[in-house]
């Protein structure tokens, strides 16, 4: 079956294929992207040629067995520690506690809940999601409610002026991918930024057609349990009543202080109404215009007469569309109201692979799920499951380089040029391709970028926001949303309160200089109504017994897929607990530039082991703002409980459970 393309118009709110919309070729996305090894062609024989004399070592699961003396010593220490903690608990009244949010440990970062949990960039938003679960909502309801809240608080990274992707796995095992990525305007063209690529980042010409509202309505219409208006109400109240500025938000405001001060009239909600200065940590931010817009989308007031999704129709076919077109075009944009009315959400099959007997479910292109599958397939039979060996980290980085090379061949499958590459995209996901790659990975050295055969220049998209949800019914949602660069295109419409995206910068632009003499990817060139390539990788892993395990995704541009891959390796291969999976230092390599980016707290012996094998190392700070990834995760445990961790260390996120 071809993917469903859902459009909300004044008279239509159902699945159909609009005559104006491009169609994937071939039409069946499962044929296009999900390939079994049985379907591998003879072309794979050329991939099997070994460029290196080494072969992958057999996989050995290493389990350290402590001595009996060590066991008794640890037991004694544990008893003493428990007694000490109990005494302190009696004295001070709080060490660990269990309440409606579950058991909270490690200063509240690790959440252990009996029924469900939400992990996001903002604690208030995670709690809103949990509140919707408590009201009888499911993971889809909670994910939408949480994401809307993120758009209120972290408007620099998310909001209804952007778009994203959602992977949903229902408790009955069925899964779907929702593609509500922004689309290029109808007047867009491949060479529209010739001579001035900065216009793809700042100003109205950087703005693509937002898809977030449409995607949420589509998902809710298919799977929601509680009324549409109730999902939006907590965020309406938050935007109107105000919220305290977080350290993350304050820091990102401060970085753009000269711009905001120069454009104070347009960005007034960022300024203190009393002092006239940009808001600081702990001060109250109100977004009253945004609250009014959210009320319209929720179908409140006069819009209750138009049906459940009457406000969505206003966004794409009514007053909001007209206002956003005017705002973008005032800053040099080329949007039309027809662009908004033609927008549709694609609902399609997920991509799947198996990883040590577990099912991995992720999003098809223009997501980067293809190369996450590629990486996991490669890792499956490499001797890299011992985190105390430097070789494991070398293999980790080598796989990242192959992942990054694979990403250069991805794009929106509605583009005929991309569709013509479908055989190669299927090949990247095959087990036989992974076998061929392993034969081209050395245990002793790394190679220059040419060895990994990138097709084109890698694109480097920027930050986003991710959230993960697991509910009491066994439904799981991984949702990633973005306005691309911080503050999107730096276009804020004071009438609607919406920050507009800069998603046009995620397309490849012909003529951009490149020190490695690689051309920009033809698979990611601009055509009207096309969706740009995305590094997002919303992913759900299903345990061998069929229950949901890891629900994961991230933000941080090109670091997303390597961050998600790394977290899966740490949790499932290295045996890290969920807290350490997210907290521990990360490495990143995107093939070009030829350097391993290592968080500053990475242990010295790991870096030395990489340098011995020829890797160049660059230390950096931690977090998205320092060029790293931010990962949010929820996991169903064997006990039936749910654990959740948000990346507090890198973006201040916090999970919540019940």
**506 assigned to a ligand binding site:** yes
Tell me the CA distances in angstroms from 255 to 22, 485, 487, one per residue in order. Answer: 40, 13, 11
Q: If you compute the radius of gyration of the chain from its CA atoms, what whole number of angstroms results?
A: 24
**557 assigned to a ligand binding site:** yes
**218 assigned to a ligand binding site:** no
Q: Is 464 a catalytic residue?
A: yes
3-class state of residue 361 by DSSP:
strand
Cα 293 to its chain centre, rounded Å, is 25
Residues 190, 74: Cα–Cα separation, whole Å: 64
Burial level of 106, CB count in 10 A (0-12/13-18/19+)?
Answer: middle
Number of residues written out for the chain? 658
Residues 317, 311: Cα–Cα separation, whole Å: 10
Inter-residue contact 563 to 554 (CB < 8 Å): yes
**349 assigned to a ligand binding site:** no
Sign of CA dihedral 155, 160, 161, 163: positive
End-to-end CA distance of the chain: 38
**94 assigned to a ligand binding site:** no
Active-site annotation holder among 362, 464, 480, 581: 464
Among left, alpha and beta (phi > 0; psi -120 to 50; other), residue 216 is alpha
**235 assigned to a ligand binding site:** no
**513 assigned to a ligand binding site:** no
Helices (H), 331-470: 337-341, 369-379, 390-407, 416-419, 422-428, 431-438
Tell me the CA distances in angstroms from 620 to 567, 574, 591, 624, 629, one per residue in order. Answer: 19, 24, 17, 11, 12
**534 assigned to a ligand binding site:** yes
3-class state of residue 642 by DSSP:
strand
Q: Which residues are annotated as a binding site for L-glutamate?
A: 181, 482-484, 506, 534-535, 557
Active site residues: 464
Q: Which residues are annotated as a binding site?
A: 181, 482-484, 506, 534-535, 557
């Amino acid at each position: 079956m071809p993917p469903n393309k859902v459009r909300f118009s004044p008279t239509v709110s159902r699945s159909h294929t609009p005559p104006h919309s491009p169609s994937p070729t071939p039409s069946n996305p499962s044929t296009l992207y999900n390939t079994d090894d049985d379907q591998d062609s003879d072309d794979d024989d050329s991939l099997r040629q070994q460029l290196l004399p080494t072969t992958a070592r057999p996989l050995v699961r290493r389990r350290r067995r402590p001595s009996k003396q060590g066991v008794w010593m640890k037991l004694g220490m544990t008893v003493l520690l428990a007694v000490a903690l109990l005494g302190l608990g009696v004295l001070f009244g709080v060490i660990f506690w269990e309440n409606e949010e579950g058991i909270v440990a490690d200063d509240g970062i690790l959440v252990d809940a009996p029924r469900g949990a939400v992990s996001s960039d903002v604690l208030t938003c995670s709690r809103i999601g949990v509140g919707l679960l408590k009201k009888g909502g499911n993971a889809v309801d909670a994910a939408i409610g949480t994401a809307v809240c993120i758009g209120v608080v972290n408007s620099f990274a998310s909001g209804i002026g952007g778009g994203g992707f959602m992977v949903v796995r229902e408790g009955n095992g069925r899964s779907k991918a929702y593609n509500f990525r922004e689309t290029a305007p109808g007047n867009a063209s491949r060479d529209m930024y010739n001579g001035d690529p900065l216009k793809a980042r700042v100003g109205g010409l950087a703005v693509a057609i937002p898809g977030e509202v449409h995607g949420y309505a589509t998902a809710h219409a298919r799977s929601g349990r509680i009324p549409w208006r109730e999902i939006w109400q907590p965020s309406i109240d938050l935007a109107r009543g105000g919220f305290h500025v977080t350290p993350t938000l304050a820091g990102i405001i401060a970085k753009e202080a000269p711009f905001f001060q120069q454009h104070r009239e347009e960005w007034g909600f960022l300024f203190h109404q009393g002092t006239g200065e940009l808001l600081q940590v702990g001060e109250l931010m109100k977004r009253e215009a945004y609250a009014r817009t959210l009320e319209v989308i929720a179908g409140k007031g006069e819009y209750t007469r138009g049906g459940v999704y009457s406000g969505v129709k206003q966004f794409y076919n009514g007053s909001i569309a007209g206002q956003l077109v005017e705002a973008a075009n005032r800053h040099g944009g080329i949007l039309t109201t027809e662009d908004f009315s033609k927008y549709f959400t694609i609902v399609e099959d997920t991509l799947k692979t198996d990883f040590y007997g577990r099912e991995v479910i992720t999003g098809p292109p223009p997501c980067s799920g293809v190369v996450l599958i590629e990486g996991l397939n490669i890792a499956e039979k490499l001797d890299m499951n011992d985190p105390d060996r430097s070789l494991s980290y070398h293999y980790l980085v080598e796989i990242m380089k192959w992942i990054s090379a694979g990403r250069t061949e991805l794009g929106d499958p509605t583009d005929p040029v991309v569709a013509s590459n479908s055989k190669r995209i299927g090949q990247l996901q095959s087990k036989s391709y992974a076998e061929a790659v392993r034969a081209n990975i050395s245990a002793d050295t790394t190679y220059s970028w040419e060895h990994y055969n990138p097709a084109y220049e890698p694109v480097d998209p920027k930050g986003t926001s991710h959230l993960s949800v697991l509910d009491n019914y066994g439904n799981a949602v991984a949702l990633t949303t973005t306005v691309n660069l911080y503050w999107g295109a730096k276009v804020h419409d004071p009438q609607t309160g919406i920050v507009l995206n800069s998603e046009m910068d995620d397309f490849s632009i012909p003529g951009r200089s490149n020190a490695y003499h690689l051309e920009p990817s033809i698979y990611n060139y601009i055509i009207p109504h096309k969706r740009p390539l995305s590094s997002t990788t919303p992913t759900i892993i299903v345990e061998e017994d069929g229950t949901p395990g890891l629900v994961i995704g991230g933000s941080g541009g090109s670091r997303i897929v390597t961050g998600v891959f790394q977290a899966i390796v740490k949790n499932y291969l290295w045996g890290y607990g969920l807290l350490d999976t997210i907290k521990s230092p990360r490495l990143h390599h995107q093939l070009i530039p030829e350097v391993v980016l290592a968080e500053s707290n990475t242990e010295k012996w790991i870096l030395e082991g990489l340098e011995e094998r020829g890797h160049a190392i660059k230390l950096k700070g931690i977090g998205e703002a320092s060029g790293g990834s931010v990962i949010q995760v929820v996991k169903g445990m064997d006990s039936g409980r749910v654990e959740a961790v948000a990346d507090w260390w890198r973006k201040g996120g916090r999970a919540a459970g019940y």
